[in-house]
Structure 1
Amino acid sequence: MASPSSSPSSSGFFAICLLHSAVAVTCGALMMFYLNEIAVFGHGSETARKLQGSTPHDQLLIQTSDSFAGLLLMAIGFLLFMVSFVKDRDFQAFFAKGCVLLHASMALWRVYFERRVDDLARDWPRQLVGDIMLSLSWVLFLVYSWREKYD
């Protein structure tokens, strides 16, 4: 008889990981290759122009930083894709708790720091809702797996 931690889990973990992976890879690719267009779409043309920097040196530094951030996001997306195939329930619960903590930390960052940046002040509530929704998907997985474990 298999132990409860090694028994196959529901497909919820797989689906959530694939969803988050698709979001991360898509956002990362857009950041790397279409940053200006995405900034205009997300922030408006005036704010996007301010976020590009004022001198050529600043612009190069910001573009390089944003490209590396996009590359990191793509790497996280591929990592999420690989993790989605893990069947160990204990690992899934541990990973989901870590993701909740990560999204909660990002939400706190937006509340305490990002809202103070004048050019981003109008965008942080929308991004905060996104962080909460991504975190909520992991919380719902934890609640569902906990219920499944003890029923």
Structure 2
Amino acid sequence: MGSSSAFILICLLHCLLAVTCGSLMMFYMKDVYKLGHGIETTTKLLGSTPHDQLLIRTSDSFSGLLLFAIGFLLFMVAFVRDRDFQAFFAKGCTFLHVSMAMWRVYFERRVEDLAWDSLRQTVGDILLATSWVSFLVYSWREKYD
């Protein structure tokens, strides 16, 4: 398997993850919150007044739409054959995932209701970054062998 097909595979897996999570965020927000956070934390996260609830639902819908669009972008990028672009894109994605993990460690864990979930999400960010790093290592090995 060449580095090009590894890039396609990683992009398509990330695309599938982003589109699925974005769709769930847009249409099944309460159910996803209950599954991920529990019922008690979900009631806190969804707001106490109707105005707060509307703002939170709207924000989550737009976040889900953005994640869906990112998944669509990953699908389009998956079929680019330029090795330099693939390496550049993989480095950018690695930086993005590491930055998100650092954000969760330094800021999100301070939110009492999200402290446990931020640890789990940080591990997920590190795993996603690792997939891009493995692609970079594989392509470097193939380039210099």
* Alpha-carbon contact 2:108-2:115 (below 8 Å) kept: yes
1:123 maps to 117
One-letter code aligned to 2:23 = A
2:108 maps to 114
User: Unaligned 5+ residue runs, structure 2?
Assistant: none
SS at match of 2:4: coil
> What's the TM-score, normalizing by structure 2?
0.98
1:13 maps to 7
* Alpha-carbon contact 1:107-1:128 (below 8 Å) kept: yes
Q: Quick one: distance in 2 between partners of 1:122 and 1:79?
A: 31
One-letter code aligned to 2:30 = N
Q: Quick one: distance in 1 between partners of 2:130 and 2:68?
A: 22
Match of 1:82 among 76, 93, 104: 76
Q: Quick one: distance in 1 between partners of 2:119 and 2:101?
A: 10
Structure 1 runs (4+) deviating above 4 angstroms are: none
Structure 1 position 41 matched with structure 2 position 32: no
Q: Quick one: distance in 2 between partners of 1:25 and 1:49?
A: 26
Q: Quick one: distance in 2 between partners of 1:100 and 1:31?
A: 23
Aligned CA RMSD, in angstroms, stands at: 0.9
* Alpha-carbon contact 2:109-2:118 (below 8 Å) kept: yes
Larger radius of gyration: 1
Match of 1:97 among 91, 94, 101: 91
More helix by share: 2
* 1:38-91 deviation per Cα after TM superposition (whole angstroms, max 9, x unaligned): 000000010011000010000000000000000000000000000000000000
1:3 maps to none
1:4 maps to none
**Number of residue-to-residue matches in the alignment:** 144
* Alpha-carbon contact 2:47-2:53 (below 8 Å) kept: yes
* Alpha-carbon contact 2:108-2:118 (below 8 Å) kept: yes
